[in-house]
Every structure is written in structure tokens, then in C-alpha cells.
Amino acid sequence: MAVILQVDFPTQGPFGAEMSEAFKALAQSINQETGMLWKIWTENSQTQQAGGLYLFDCTENAEKYLSMHTARLQNFDLEHIRGRIFEINHELSTITHAPL
């Protein structure tokens, strides 16, 4: 059963077009992660936060990715990384046009 992984963390940037350029290779590599179906990149320059919403094929793959990704972010000297995995209510999500 597909699950949503939500990750966010405080950061001083980059944001916007600079973020797009700086993390293009990372985005391409994320496509190769086991069980990852899609990611929505999130950012808020006003609150100095970034992260993403991911759709994984199962909880096990989301947990493995979260563990690896948390370590990677810590290697970038980022702290206070928050990751949460949620089950999806498919019936209600279909009503609200979720891209599942």
C-alpha cells in the first residue's frame, strides 16, 4: 500500500531558481530510489524551511529512504530534520483529485 513521506527541515537556502539549479542532480538521483513514485519539493524562504512530500510504494521503502536521507541532510550540517510517514485514505483522496 502506497504511503506519503513528509520531510522538512530549517535551512538558509538556496530557494527558488537557485535551489532548482543547485539540486538538479540530486532530484535526478532521487528518481532511482527503490519504491519512490514521485516527490513534490517544498520550500518557504520566509520561514527558512525546505523539504518534500514523497509517494512511496510501501512503508518499508519510505522508512529506508528516510533513514538514508536524514543521514545525507546531516552531512550537509542540517539539523532538526523531521520525517513522518502517513497512510493514505484512497477513497477521500480520490474525491479531492489526488494524483495517486
The predicted-structure confidence for 62-78, as pLDDT tens digits, reads as follows 999 999 999 999 998 99
Confidence of residue 99 (pLDDT cuts 50, 70, 90): confident
Q: What is the pLDDT of residues 33-58, one digit of tens each?
A: 999 999 999 999 999 999 999 999 99
For the chain, the farthest-separated pair of C-alpha atoms sits apart, in whole angstroms, at: 41
Sequence spans of domains, the chain: 3-88
Give the per-residue pLDDT at 31: 94
Rounded mean pLDDT, 7-14: 96
Nearest to 12 by CA among 94, 63, 62, 79: 79
> Is pLDDT of 93 > 90?
yes
Taking the domain 3-88, which CATH number applies? 3.30.70.100
Residue 49 forms beta bridges with which residues? Answer: 10, 44
Query: Can you tell me which residue has the cell 519510505?
Result: 62
